[in-house]
Amino acid sequence: MRFLGCGSMRVTRYYQTQQKPTLFLFKSPFVFIYRQAILFCVGEIAVSKTLHNILIALGKTETLTAKSAAPGNALPFLLENSDNFDEAHEKYFKDTQSRQIFDWILQSRIVTDLFGKPAPEVLDNIPYPRHQWNHLLRQAKAMKPVVIGDYTLDRIDTWLLEAYSLKGLCEVEPGDTVLDCGAYTGNTSVYFAQKTGPSGHVYGFEPAPMLFALYNSNIQPYGNVTAINAALTDSAKLIGPNTTMGFSGNFCGARFAESGQLRVPVTAIDAFVHDNSLPCVDFIKMDIEGAEADALQGAAKTICEFRPKMAISAYHKPDDLFALPRLIATICPGYQFALRHFSDNLWETVMYCLHSESPDYFGKDTTKDRYPLSRQRLCEKLEATLERRFKCEITLTY
């Protein structure tokens, strides 16, 4: 990435807070952005899908007030990575529903970042409106727990919405060998065990010691589930058969942390498949708190050899929507992708991956992907939003 100063371009609008700016370049020569300053050049361009989503989000914030002292990094990150998000939208997520969810996620990030957690009604394209989500909550609370120690959200995701199955397209089938990466208390492993049946098998990976003990107890009635007390990472990070890594905790949301007080055993999927002489891997599910990219790297040989169906969480890191599909497509060309979302907030986005010769396996989207838009209009929207966001008059120079 090139870094340029203000003197290297013609500026029509300028906004800056008192915080020291960090410079980012976006689509030279049209737009430049500081972490707390936005610079625009003259002219009109065909605005990309990412910028169009930014404009929509700003339009939806007109009735909101600030809930935090300073905005986060969502807007700078989206602008800085606009080309990456545009590529993912065009290249990897081709069906209508995936693109609708993709758009909502980008819009929701901006609204949430600038104004705090928004009410679901702020964005009318939310996958689960408030009344629908409340109905799911009531259903989940009325359910008899399948495993001990689960949460209401687990019941909604696993049993009511079946988040790790895209029906008829990407799901566990009878006889499948399944890797449940991030098994937690066992809801998903039990779900997969029921779907794969006695002729299949589920291997569940859970690193946190207390969670693993609960998980291991919960899956005892199921003879086709094996519990593995290990985290998953890239093969390159394994320094021997007894590698351990720092871990942040024992409960929901625990993740790798060098300063973590816990040390947990670590393996890679390729190493596990080899060491246990698995004849095949048919389905991989991952929800491992931001370690998905490393775990996929550690599964490269398995993915290339068996081409498993996959359901990968794609919401833990800001770049997941473009980095994860790009990584899988690099590891094994020919995978097709789809997005679905399973909550009333920014959690629980699942990316389905299936190797297919058909580029439109999950469907097509016929909507236009680029929008002619006046740069001045986008400037004005941002100016008005920032004035409202910081509750002061913004002076712009031309």
Same domain, 172 and 270: yes
**Residues 259, 174 share a domain:** yes
Rounded to whole angstroms, the Cα distance separating 323 from 325 reads 6
Asked, for residue 345, whether it belongs to a domain, the answer is no
With respect to residue 196, please indicate whether it lies within any of the assigned structural domains: yes
Domain count, the chain: 2
DSSP code of residue 95:
S
Q: Which residue has the tokens 């065909």?
A: 46
Residue 363 lies in a domain: no
Identify whether 56 is part of a domain.
yes
Residue 153 CB-density burial (10 A; 0-12 exposed, 13-18 middle, 19+ buried): middle
pLDDT truncated to tens, each residue of the chain (398 aa)?
222 222 222 333 333 333 433 333 333 333 333 333 444 433 333 456 776 777 677 666 666 665 555 566 777 788 778 889 989 998 999 999 999 899 889 888 888 877 765 555 667 778 888 889 999 999 999 999 999 998 899 999 999 999 999 999 999 999 999 999 999 999 999 999 999 999 999 999 998 888 899 999 999 999 999 999 998 988 767 655 665 565 555 555 555 445 556 777 889 999 999 999 999 999 999 999 889 999 999 999 999 999 999 999 999 999 999 999 999 999 999 999 999 999 988 889 999 999 998 888 998 876 654 444 444 555 566 666 666 655 555 443 32
Q: What is the pTM of this model?
A: 0.81
Q: Where are the alpha helices (DSSP H) in 228-287?
A: 269-275
Residues 77 and 155 in one domain: no
Q: What is the SS3 assignment for 337?
A: strand
User: What backbone phi and psi angles, to 5 degrees, belong to 298?
Assistant: -75, -5
Same domain, 192 and 96: no
Percent helix, strand, coil in the chain, to 5, is 35, 20, 45
- What domain range is 47 assigned to? 6-123+378-390
Whether 105 and 158 map to the same domain: the answer is: no
CATH number, domain at 217?
Answer: 3.40.50.150
Q: Is residue 349 part of a domain?
A: no
Do 83 and 228 fall within a single domain? no
Please answer whether residues 12 and 32 qualify as being in contact, where contact means their C-beta atoms are separated by less than 8 angstroms.
no
Q: Are residues 230 and 183 in the same domain?
A: yes
What residues does 24 pair with on adjacent strands? 33
Distance CA 91, CA 350 (A): 17
* 25 domain residue, yes or no: yes
SS3 of 100-161: HHHHHHHHHHHHHHHHCCCCHHHCCCCCCCHHHHHHHHHHHHHCCCCCCCCCHHHHHHHHHC
Which residues, including other chains, have CB under 8 Å from residue 200's CB and lie 6 or more apart? Answer: 172, 174, 175, 176, 177, 178, 224, 282
Cβ-contact 201, 225 below 8 angstroms? yes
- Show the tokens assigned to 362: 């999950």
| 149 and 261 together in one domain | yes
For residues 212 and 297, membership in a common domain is answered with yes
Considering the domain architecture, whether residues 58 and 162 belong to the same structural domain is answered as: no
Statement to judge: residues 166 and 284 lie in one domain = yes
In this structure, the answer to whether residues 159 and 301 fall within a common structural domain is yes
Q: 72 in a domain, yes or no? A: yes
Q: Is 141 within a domain?
A: yes
